[in-house]
Amino acid sequence: MTERTGTDSPAPTPTRARRSSVHPSGSGTGGAHAKAILLGEHAAVYGAPALAIPLHGLGVAAQAVPAEGIHLESELFTGAASDAPARLWPVLTAVRAALDQQNAVAGAAVRIRSSIPYERGLGSSAAVAAAVVRAIADLAQSTVDPDTLYTIVQEAERVAHGNPSGLDARAVTATAPIRFQQGAVAPVEVGSSLVFTLADSGCSGSTAQSVAQVRERRSADRAGIDAIIAQIAELTEAAAADLTRGDPTALGARMSQTHELLTGLGVSDDRLDALVAAAGRAGSPGAKLTGGGQGGCIIALADGAAHAEELGSALRAAGAPRTWTTTVPAS
């Protein structure tokens, strides 16, 4: 989650009469997972398509119980909403919106446990918001439809990132790869199983900051930046076809080309570039930064599970403090 400046906390949701119908166990649970963007980050902010994959091995579990007011328990903060730091405002936004949407209880104590690293471009803030919304819906013995869930998570993401594309809000609840464009989402067929290795650069990244910097560069050179965005869009559409055909060689090439274009947008850095280069030396068909950039993670395509482990070792030797492996199965 991204910390925002300022001293005023979000305005509390007005109290109103609510129905009393909570889960017989007295608590509700919800979850969500991390995501990685294969292609299309930053371009998606300007209406271009993006491809994302779920990272089921990294997730968030939330538990909600009725309470007076709103209380949070997480590794970042434990206490009443009124005392929460700015970096928890997106979570509080999701809690308040979910309580209002369900109209079930006046307040809740929400416990959050997450294995998704913060500020690494893997969808941490969106996943936490989605898990919280689902937990409160479960507490109310209800469910939340995908569009309502998206709307609430996107509201929280605006607090976290300022002007998010909406990709994270969809991707952290998707069960398979998706194509996202201007809020619309569609599943992408996968022709053959693919294995990826992700590596942490060791530095946090601010999506809000990197998006703002690209916007500033576009204001100064609209034609030049729009040309880069158009190239990223073309590569993204072609990569969707690569996924459907099950063509890792073509997909990897497009990933590497996209990294070069993102570098041209100014959202890469020396650490990310070094990890991408290390993945190439270790035999990856293609690698690129994933997410907002300027810190965060890279994603590298592997030739299989064994090669993914080799990539992880090579990337850690190149400076990554941690790596993960994920498999995208054939449809």
User: 104 versus 244: which is more confidently predicted?
Assistant: 244
Phi, psi torsion values for 156, nearest 5 degrees: -65, -35
Q: What is the pLDDT of residue 7?
A: 33
Q: What is the pLDDT of residue 17?
A: 37
Q: How far apart are alpha carbons 238 and 250 in whole angstroms?
A: 9
In whole angstroms, how far apart are CA 20 and each of 7, 17, 23, 63? 35, 9, 10, 18
Q: How buried is 231 (Cβ within 10 angstroms: 0-12 exposed, 13-18 middle, 19+ buried)?
A: middle
Structure confidence at residue 12 as a pLDDT band (50, 70, 90): very low
Q: What is the pLDDT of residue 164?
A: 79
Q: Is 115 left (phi over 0), alpha (psi -120 to 50) or beta?
A: alpha
The SS3 of residue 282 is coil
pLDDT digits (tens, 9 = 90+) for 59-102: 999 999 999 999 999 998 999 999 999 989 999 999 999 999 88
Structure confidence at residue 46 as a pLDDT band (50, 70, 90): very high
pLDDT digits (tens, 9 = 90+) for 267-294: 999 999 999 999 999 999 999 999 988 8
Q: How far apart are alpha carbons 190 and 138 in whole angstroms?
A: 32
Q: What is the pLDDT of residue 190?
A: 96
Q: What is the pLDDT of residue 104?
A: 63
pLDDT digits (tens, 9 = 90+) for 229-266: 999 999 999 999 999 999 999 999 999 999 999 999 99
The SS3 of residue 203 is coil
Determine the average pLDDT of the residues in 137-163: 91
Res. 2: pLDDT tops 60: no
Q: Report residue 283 as tokens.
A: 């035999």
The SS3 of residue 109 is strand
Q: Between 207-220 and 146-161, two packed helices, what is the crossing angle to 10 degrees?
A: 70
Structure confidence at residue 211 as a pLDDT band (50, 70, 90): confident
Go through the domains of the chain in sequence order and give each one's CATH number: 28-184 (3.30.230.10), 190-328 (3.30.70.890)
Q: How far apart are alpha carbons 237 and 259 in whole angstroms?
A: 15
**How much is the mean pLDDT over the chain?**
90
Q: What is the pLDDT of residue 298?
A: 97
Instruction: For 169-185, give the secondary structure using H, E and C.
Output: HHHCCCCCCEEEECCEE
Structure confidence at residue 13 as a pLDDT band (50, 70, 90): very low
User: What b-and-e string marks burial along 25-44, b requiring 16 or more CB atoms within 10 Å of the CB?
Assistant: eebbbbbbbbbbbbbbbbbb
Res. 18: pLDDT tops 80: no
Q: What angle do CA 136, 102, 144 make, to 5 degrees?
A: 70
Res. 31: pLDDT tops 60: yes
At 89, which amino acid appears?
W
Q: Where are the beta strands (DSSP E) in the chain?
A: 28-39, 50-66, 70-73, 78-80, 108-114, 178-181, 184-187, 194-200, 286-290, 297-302, 323-328
